[in-house]
A and B are shown apart, each in its own frame.
Chain A
């Protein structure tokens, strides 16, 4: 299995500011995924992050709003830019370990935008 940590675990931010969320995995993985879970909703994939290349964004999500970095095989960051109250969500990173197909999730970052 994979052990995934995220920082911060929660934050309260002001409208118009940006927050960078970090995701660290205890093993090397090719792809890392960022999901959003809005209040009372299920999970929606924001983007897939491959090491050494630009992230691939899902429909409705753009790089200017959610820039992603993937500097190595165990780490990624997601920035939520120019935040509005609609960005209040839990943000989760996820990995799939080669050979198992099981997808593992981090503990999430609970973001509240005032």
Chain B
């Protein structure tokens, strides 16, 4: 079972910022927060990850609260192609990097 809680669905207007929340209240010190998305039935696409600092890349920004119990993925200017299921995952540091537990995710619909 996933260690994260996400809203099942969200809508966003095209061109606006999409803010996707994730709760991970039981996160431990060696666990990263990862975000992936899956467009229709394609393979999950890596977006971003972080440990405790906020992170930004060409796709998105990740804001992690100071207590690390929640995070927000921000797509700054959502487009129709950003419509997808977004997964928030916590994954432990360690030799056996297999702990990618995908939950139900958030289905983001970007509307014109």
Q: Do A and B come from one complex?
A: no
- Chain B residues near A (Cβ < 8 Å): none
